[in-house]
Structure formats: C-alpha cells, structure tokens
Amino acid sequence: MSDFWKRVDAELDYLGKNRTYLANKCEFSLTSFNLGIKRGSCPSADTAVKIAATLGVSVEYLVTGSNSSVNKNKDEETEQLRLYRKHNEIIQKCEQLSPEKEKLLVVIAESFEKDN
C-alpha cells in the first residue's frame, strides 16, 4: 500500500470513518478505491482533492506526508478535536452542572493542578 493510502487510512481511523464513507463522499466506487490501494497507485488529482477535502487535510499532506505552515492551524484544530473526543463524557457532564457546581469543579481542578 502506498504512503498516500496509508495516510488516508490513518485519517479515516482518526475520524472514526471507513473507506465506504470516503468512497460515498467522493462519489466513486469502493471497488475503484480498493483497486487503487491494491495497486499502490495515487488517484487522479481531482480525486485526491476530493479525498483531502473530505478528510480535512491537504493534498500535499496525503502525497508527501509533510505538514507545511498552511497546516499548522489544522494541527492545532486536530489536537483540540483529539482532546474533545478524549474528554467528551466529562464535558457533557459539566454542561449539565449548575453555575455553583461548575465553580466548585473549577476549584477542585485547580487544586489538582497545584498538586502536579
């Protein structure tokens, strides 16, 4: 499998999506998608642009693996999304707290911070 497709699979995994989702969003058949992977070939430029847009990454990243300065904001957004997914359950519970309990939770969190 080419590095292009490895990066595509990594992004799909990160997003919690699969190849069928990508094929449907990019309006091409899963069979064509899998054939390209099997051959280790990169897709046409038009298809690569669709794939990159669907995954929220640049074509440059998918092709070369490099994150240029254009992608620095994406890296920050990716980290924020990762943290949100990691702490989603806690965030949902916090959103249900009264303002008083929310303030108390902040005090408790700050005390944990001081212990580190």
How many DSSP H helices and E strands does the chain contain?
Answer: 7, 0
What pLDDT does residue 69 have?
47
pTM of the predicted structure, to 2 decimals: 0.57
- pLDDT(7) > 50: yes
At 83, the pLDDT band (50, 70, 90 cuts) reads: confident
Domains defined along the chain, listed by start: 3-66 (1.10.260.40), 72-115 (no CATH)
